[in-house]
């Protein structure tokens, strides 16, 4: 029978303590709610003694979270324990998480004590915590570098004194998977009362082993894994929970474990954490990165068209993500082009795939990414000229009024006619520009997404703009770099309108055929 692995999230404690700016209560509550919806078993909401703000956040989180158990961190100090309990006092059940260094290094050079004194401190604190709750977790900080005899010794006495969860942290991310597995196995073999507590692990990622070490630990008997969303945390971070949860799910036959996490919330929750913590998700990040489910090379695209399992061990739906279209670039093969043509309604007998693919490669080399409207035009329009322009920017003047308003004068050449536009906006210049373009060029579009990125080099600032616009359910994308935001934005919009115009014209020709 499969055994449950308890998932303990410390995004709001270990994760938050690593951020450049601490989160406010509202932000912490939003993250806690997302974790609760994801059905995280235990949420470590904070370290209440660390600041009045952290205390308040824990209090608010206790009011709002419905299913997860709330936990707060405390040093082995009476005041810490009292404050932690006070912050969670509205709840009937809560967990107090005590920690104390157990390695020789921590005991002697950080705490300036000896092992016996540490043991006494720990037992005294457990007694205090027990006045408030029976749910007590104890972390043997730096357990990964603690002498195994002393670790077994202290774990036995902690359990004897009423600790219900023993956490074995690899605080500095030093151990290797085999080594960490052995530590957990030895604890199971040598601590006589080990079955009276849950064994937890908490791995840091300094050598990139946090997830691997956590999985090795559950293979040796650990029942709880601690980590954070996206792996945020001190230095190189903590074990990334989304990776652990999906590893347990994807390799369930081998591991024989399960979690009660709602994995369909993984993508949404990581996006919330990334946005609030201002930590961007690398495109190649396992599970949640932009490229985690996208296939680029011709061989891979061909493979997934034939059978997704050729190159996918999980499906995007499992983490709550919609499947993306194949990204068509010069690396794509004929099979991907044929598949996309089929998806947009054209069977192979209605066009010449060989000729289309040749033109596709030429255009992809110049343009980078090929969109549906390019494909249609390449397949059905003779001498499709992507460079031909219908709209050209002839003149642009930007004025700022003292009132805060911006006035933009534009002169655009629309084939052989000059059109003049005056845009007057207050705060929202982008909205004003889009509205004016839709009006004057008679094309009704909607702006789906735009990104403005500033770069500073040798006292000059440049700006890079990406715009996604939708026209008749088709997405049009362009990017541009310049020195002025409004000017660069307008130039990018004009590029897009040129593409839309070409698409409109070509569509008419295709329909006539």
Q: 369 to 408, contacts with ligand KIV by CB under 6 A? A: none
Pair type for strands 406-414 and 417-425: antiparallel
**In degrees rounded to 5, what are phi and psi of residue 362?**
-60, -45
* Polymer length in residues for the chain: 513
The smaller minimum CB distance to Zn ion, of residues 143 and 364, is found at 143
Min dist. Cβ of residue 99 to Zn ion (A): 9
Q: 201 to 260, contacts with ligand KIV by CB under 6 A? A: 202, 204
Q: Which does 139 bind (CB under 5 to 8 A by kind): Zn ion, ligand KIV, none?
A: ligand KIV
**In degrees rounded to 5, what are phi and psi of residue 135?**
-90, 95
Task: Please give the DSSP secondary-structure letter assigned to residue 109.
Answer: I
Spell out, one character per residue from 80 to 99, where the chain touches ligand KIV: x when CB under 6 A holds, - when not: -------------------x
Q: Which residue is nearest to Zn ion (CB)?
A: 14
Task: Please give the DSSP secondary-structure letter assigned to residue 11.
Answer: I
The smaller minimum CB distance to ligand KIV, of residues 181 and 202, is found at 202
> Which part of the chain contacts ligand KIV (CB under 6 A), choosing from 79-87, 150-158, 167-175, 340-348?
167-175
Q: How far apart are CA 256 and CA 3, in angstroms?
A: 7
**What token pair was written down for 237?**
């971070």
Min dist. Cβ of residue 172 to ligand KIV (A): 8
SS3 assignment, position 45: strand
Residues interacting with Zn ion, by CB under 5 A? Answer: 14
> Which part of the chain contacts ligand KIV (CB under 6 A), choosing from 165-173, 446-454, 480-488, 504-512?
165-173
Number of other CB atoms surrounding residue 427 within 10 Å: 10
Task: Please give the DSSP secondary-structure letter assigned to residue 216.
Answer: H
H-only helix segments in 65-176 = 78-87, 104-105, 115-129, 148-160
**CA–centroid distance for 296 within its chain:** 21
Count Cα neighbours of 449 within 13 Å in the Cβ-side half-sphere: 8
The smaller minimum CB distance to ligand KIV, of residues 142 and 302, is found at 142
Min dist. Cβ of residue 73 to ligand KIV (A): 6
Q: Which does 141 bind (CB under 5 to 8 A by kind): ligand KIV, Zn ion, none?
A: ligand KIV
> Which part of the chain contacts ligand KIV (CB under 6 A), choosing from 87-95, 163-171, 287-295, 378-386?
163-171
Closest CA to 103 of 87, 90, 114, 88: 114
Q: Which does 269 bind (CB under 5 to 8 A by kind): ligand KIV, Zn ion, none?
A: none
> Contact with ligand KIV (CB under 6 A): which of 72, 133, 139, 228?
139
The smaller minimum CB distance to ligand KIV, of residues 167 and 480, is found at 167
# chain residues binding ligand KIV, by CB under 6 A:
9
**What token pair was written down for 295?**
């296939």
Min dist. Cβ of residue 8 to Zn ion (A): 11
Q: Tell me how many degrees the CA angle 383-388-394 measures, rounded to the nearest 5.
A: 170
Min dist. Cβ of residue 331 to ligand KIV (A): 42
**What token pair was written down for 404?**
């805060």
Min dist. Cβ of residue 141 to ligand KIV (A): 4
The smaller minimum CB distance to Zn ion, of residues 48 and 231, is found at 231
Min dist. Cβ of residue 474 to ligand KIV (A): 49
Examine residue 171 and tell whether it contacts ligand KIV (CB under 6 A): yes
Q: Tell me how many degrees the CA angle 467-472-477 measures, rounded to the nearest 5.
A: 20
The smaller minimum CB distance to ligand KIV, of residues 204 and 265, is found at 204
Min dist. Cβ of residue 93 to Zn ion (A): 24
Report CA torsion sign: 204, 208, 211, 213.
Answer: negative
> Contact with ligand KIV (CB under 6 A): which of 141, 302, 374, 478?
141
The smaller minimum CB distance to ligand KIV, of residues 175 and 377, is found at 175
Task: Please give the DSSP secondary-structure letter assigned to residue 106.
Answer: I
Examine residue 28 and tell whether it contacts ligand KIV (CB under 6 A): no
Give me the residues paired with residue 421 across strands.
410
Q: How far apart are CA 64 and CA 80, in angstroms?
A: 23
Buried/exposed 66-80: b ≥16 CB within 10 Å, e otherwise: eebbbbbbbbbbeeb
> Contact with ligand KIV (CB under 6 A): which of 15, 169, 231, 432?
169
Number of other CB atoms surrounding residue 437 within 10 Å: 23
The smaller minimum CB distance to ligand KIV, of residues 55 and 371, is found at 55
Residues within the interface to ligand KIV (CB under 6 A): 14, 99, 139, 141, 167, 169, 171, 202, 204
């Amino acid at each position: 029978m499969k055994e449950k692995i308890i998932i303990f999230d410390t995004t709001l404690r270990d994760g938050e303590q690593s951020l450049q700016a601490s989160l406010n209560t509202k932000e912490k509550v939003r993250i806690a709610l997302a974790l609760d919806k994801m059905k995280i078993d235990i949420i470590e909401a904070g370290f209440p003694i660390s600041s009045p703000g952290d205390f308040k956040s824990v209090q608010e989180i206790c009011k709002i979270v419905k299913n997860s158990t709330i936990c707060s961190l405390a040093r082995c100090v009476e005041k810490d324990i009292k404050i932690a309990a006070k912050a969670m006092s509205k709840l009937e059940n809560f967990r107090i998480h005590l920690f104390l260094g157990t390695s020789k290094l921590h005991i002697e050079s950080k705490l300036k004590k000896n092992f016996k004194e540490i043991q006494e401190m720990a037992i005294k604190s457990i007694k205090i915590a027990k006045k408030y709750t029976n749910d007590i977790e104890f972390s043997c900080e730096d357990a990964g570098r603690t002498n195994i005899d002393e670790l077994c010794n202290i774990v036995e006495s902690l359990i004897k004194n009423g600790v219900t969860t023993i956490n074995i942290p690899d605080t500095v991310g030093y151990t290797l998977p085999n080594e960490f597995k052995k530590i957990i196995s030895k604890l199971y073999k040598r601590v006589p009362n080990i079955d009276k507590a849950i064994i937890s692990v908490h791995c840091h990622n300094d050598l990139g082993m946090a997830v691997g070490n956590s999985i090795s630990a559950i293979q040796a008997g650990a029942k709880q894994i601690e980590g954070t969303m996206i792996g945020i945390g001190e230095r190189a971070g903590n074990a990334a929970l989304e990776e652990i949860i999906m590893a347990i799910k994807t390799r369930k036959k081998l591991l024989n474990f399960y979690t009660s996490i709602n994995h369909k919330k993984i993508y949404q929750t990581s996006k919330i954490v990334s946005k609030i913590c201002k930590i961007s998700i690398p495109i190649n990040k396992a599970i949640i990165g932009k490229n985690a489910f996208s296939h680029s090379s011709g061989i891979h695209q061909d493979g997934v068209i034939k059978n997704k399992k050729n190159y996918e061990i999980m499906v995007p739906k499992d983490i709550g993500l919609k499947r993306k279209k194949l990204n068509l670039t010069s690396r794509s093969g004929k099979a991907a082009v044929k598949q996309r043509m089929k998806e947009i309604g054209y069977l192979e007998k209605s066009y010449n795939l060989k000729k289309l693919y040749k033109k596709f490669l030429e255009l992809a080399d110049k343009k980078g990414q090929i969109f549906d409207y390019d494909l249609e035009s390449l397949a059905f329009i003779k001498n499709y000229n992507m460079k031909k322009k219908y709209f050209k920017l002839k003149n642009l003047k930007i004025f700022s009024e003292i009132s805060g308003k911006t006035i933009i004068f534009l002169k655009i050449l629309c084939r052989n006619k000059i059109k003049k536009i005056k845009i007057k906006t207050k705060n929202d210049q982008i909205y004003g520009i889009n509205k004016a373009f839709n009006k004057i060029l008679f094309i009704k579009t909607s702006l789906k997404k735009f990104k403005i990125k500033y770069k500073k080099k040798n006292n000059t600032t440049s700006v890079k703009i990406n715009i996604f616009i939708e026209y008749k359910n088709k997405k049009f994308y362009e990017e541009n770099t310049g020195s002025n935001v409004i000017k660069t934005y307008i130039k990018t919009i004009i590029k897009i309108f040129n593409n839309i115009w070409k698409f409109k014209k070509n569509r008419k020709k295709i329909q006539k055929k």
